[in-house]
């Protein structure tokens, strides 16, 4: 729409300007410790225990225990520090991270030159795997902490599942109240937790200081030489040590790259590796503690306090991933990959504090089913590892599109890193797939279902727009033919349109049935840009089509909420200021009829029709005043 005027130009593609967090570094680091590192921080509760599962036939000796610790340490170095902290987190979209933000960045920078098909498939499947992760993280984290009660007394054993369920249901029940107040405690609680596990590790390292030798990668070689097959299979359990790594990238927009990096290097990484070395040192001296090494690291008198701290940490980790699910869903809706869902803002200060009831209770049901079905954290871990590594592999492939195509780094320079990281991801993924029938099937099934929903909605929405476009008229022709022949009444009418250049069906239906038009007619198009936020000066683009007709485009970032009345009230260029009491909003509501016309399989057309029917109304989503909206229905054949 080249003829549209604008209050200001949109930021140029490739601009790195964004609104970075304004708080001081220590405060942002504390926030990052509380939100970003909850998942990876609680991995010591189950990672070593899972690696020493009987199915791997590993021994509690120097070769195997040092080999496990060495694998964890060098995974932290290669996967977390080098890959994510030094490389992936530099692939930001105006400060935002995550698979959808990365997809939007590549689309914005490369346009038609981007590898469209596989890039879209990768971004959507990574998003689908994130939802599987969001189901597994609360279930595994909370039940692994509650399993510590079994160390206190065997009498608690029959009640562990029910206690975990009570904690989880309570957690989901309070989501509607928001986490603005209690969220301020996340950082301090997690800091106490990390200091505690570091002290626990040091106390056992002192008793067996030789464990420090495990940092030497030569022990990895010895580990694989001793029993190649079982060492390879155990890699699927080593992954549990760095679950939650993707959160460093996904939550970057909330805290910034530097605070997340500093928190990892100076607090989280040292605390985790000290605890893992401490567990290995303890097991060499006390192999009888292999049933639950984490809770056996403290004397019986401190088990209950440790249990409380660990449970709080797992609740925080669960809260972070639930909030992440709300944020990812909001991005997917804005980018056109999911239908409109009811979204409530739980904080007047924090933009990211949102609550989606449908997502919340869907997750709650799935988490409860996982806990009841699997009963033990160890039974769910194979599924957890596959979801994590699958997302990491997709992120690796997408990041190298940025490195090679956008940053234009020499092929030889990026090829080494690409080969190393893809190989690592594939090795971990292959090991995880060996447990396909032990639970690893779960993220694959969930991923395929959600991927089908995402792609069906995106494809159906595109087809629906094409069908509407076929019956539409250019605005210039419509204005010319109706300006002198139609009776005009006082006031303003706003017609929402999927295209800024054509007449919406609602306008044609209104003219056909009522045979009048308002003095001022706005044909309004809402466009979500492939950037996280759009500045107020870049919000509006407009064009005077003559005879009281105006074409208006409102631009939003994919992290923003759409508020049409608020942004129309700020316009001073389309005649008199807007008064909502004299403005009517006309919405088209299509009833889809599935046909064999083509474009999608018949079952997908019916699925799309159901999703469209179940989505939140445009009136609520766009925050239109309820007493000023007129809906005009029509049938549309797919």
Full-model pTM: 0.83
pLDDT, one tens digit per residue, over 529-556 is 888 888 888 888 888 888 888 889 999 9
Is the pLDDT at 465 greater than 50, yes or no?
yes
Rg (CA), the chain: 27
| Residues 266, 270, 272, 275, CA torsion sign | negative
Quick check: 386 and 439 in contact, CB under 8 A?
no
pLDDT, one tens digit per residue, over 128-173 is 998 998 898 899 889 988 888 888 778 888 888 999 999 999 989 8
Distance CA 384, CA 382 (A): 5
Distance CA 83, CA 217 (A): 18
- Exposure string over 435-455, b if 16+ CB within 10 A, otherwise e: beeebbebbbebbeebbebbb
CATH class of 25-458: mainly alpha
pLDDT, one tens digit per residue, over 284-316 is 999 999 988 999 999 988 999 999 999 999 998
How many CB atoms are closer than 10 A to CB 153? Answer: 9
Domains of the chain: which residue ranges?
25-458, 473-637
- Token pair for residue 295? 């809770």
Distance CA 521, CA 535 (A): 26
Distance CA 415, CA 279 (A): 37
Between vectors from CA 19 to CA 14 and to CA 24, what angle results, nearest 5°?
135
Average pLDDT, the chain: 85
What percentage of the chain exceeds 70 in pLDDT? 93
């Amino acid at each position: 729409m080249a003829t549209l005027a604008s209050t200001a130009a949109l930021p140029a593609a490739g601009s790195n300007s964004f609104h970075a967090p304004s708080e001081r570094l220590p405060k942002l680091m504390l926030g990052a410790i509380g939100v970003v590192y909850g998942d990876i921080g609680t991995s010591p509760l189950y990672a070593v225990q899972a690696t020493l599962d009987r199915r791997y036939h590993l021994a509690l000796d120097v070769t195997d225990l040092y080999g496990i610790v060495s694998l964890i340490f060098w995974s932290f170095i290669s996967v977390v520090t080098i890959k994510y902290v030094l490389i992936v987190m530099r692939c930001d979209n105006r400060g935002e991270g995550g698979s959808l933000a990365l997809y939007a960045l590549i689309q914005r920078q490369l346009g038609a030159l981007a590898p469209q098909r596989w890039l879209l498939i990768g971004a959507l499947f990574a998003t689908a795997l994130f939802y599987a992760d969001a189901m597994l993280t609360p279930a595994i984290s909370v039940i692994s902490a509650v399993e510590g009660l079994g160390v206190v007394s065997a009498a608690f054993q029959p009640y562990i599942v029910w206690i975990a369920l009570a904690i989880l249901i309570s957690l989901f029940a309070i989501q509607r109240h928001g986490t603005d107040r209690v969220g301020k405690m996340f950082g301090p609680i997690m800091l106490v937790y990390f200091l505690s596990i570091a002290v626990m590790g040091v106390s056992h390292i002192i008793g067996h200081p030789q464990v420090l030798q495990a940092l030497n990668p030569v022990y990895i070689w010895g580990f694989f030489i001793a029993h190649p097959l079982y060492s390879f299979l155990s890699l699927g359990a080593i992954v549990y040590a760095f679950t939650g790594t993707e959160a460093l990238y996904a939550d970057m927009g909330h805290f910034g790259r530097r605070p997340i990096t500093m928190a990892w290097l100076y607090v989280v990484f040292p605390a985790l590796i000290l605890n893992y070395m401490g567990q290995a040192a303890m097991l060499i001296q006390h192999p009888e503690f292999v049933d639950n090494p984490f809770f056996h690291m403290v004397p019986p008198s401190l088990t209950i306090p440790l249990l409380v701290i660990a449970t709080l940490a797992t609740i925080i980790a669960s809260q972070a991933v639930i909030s992440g699910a709300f944020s990812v869903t909001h991005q997917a809706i804005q980018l056109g990959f999911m239908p409109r869902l009811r979204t409530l803002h739980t904080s007047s200060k924090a933009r990211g504090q949102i609550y989606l009831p449908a997502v919340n209770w869907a997750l709650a049901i799935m988490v409860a089913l996982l806990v009841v079905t699997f009963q033990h954290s160890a039974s769910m871990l194979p599924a957890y590892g596959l979801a994590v590594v699958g997302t990491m592999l997709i992120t690796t492939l997408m990041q190298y599109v940025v490195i090679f195509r956008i940053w234009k780094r020499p092929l030889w320079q990026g090829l080494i890193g690409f080969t190393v990281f893809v190989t690592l991801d594939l090795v971990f993924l292959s090991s995880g797939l060996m447990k396909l029938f032990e639970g690893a099937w779960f993220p694959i099934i969930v991923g395929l279902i959600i991927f089908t929903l995402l792609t069906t909605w995106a494809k159906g929405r595109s087809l629906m727009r094409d069908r509407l476009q076929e019956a539409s008229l250019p605005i210039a022709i419509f204005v010319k033919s109706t300006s002198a022949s139609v009776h005009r009444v006082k006031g303003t009418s706003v017609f929402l349109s999927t295209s800024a250049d054509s007449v919406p069906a609602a306008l044609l239906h209104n003219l056909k049935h009522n045979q009048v038009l308002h003095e001022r007619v706005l044909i309004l198009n809402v466009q979500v840009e492939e950037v996280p936020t759009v500045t107020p000066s870049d919000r509006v683009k407009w064009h005077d089509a003559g005879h009281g007709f105006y074409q208006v485009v409102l631009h939003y970032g994919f992290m923003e909420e759409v508020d049409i009345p608020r942004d129309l009230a700020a316009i001073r260029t389309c005649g008199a200021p807007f008064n909502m009491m004299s403005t009517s909003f006309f919405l088209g509501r299509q009833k889809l009829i599935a046909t064999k016309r083509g474009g999608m399989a018949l079952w997908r057309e019916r699925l799309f029709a159901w999703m469209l029917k179940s989505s939140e109304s445009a009136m609520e989503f766009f925050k239109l005043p309820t007493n000023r909206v007129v809906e005009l229905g029509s049938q549309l054949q797919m």
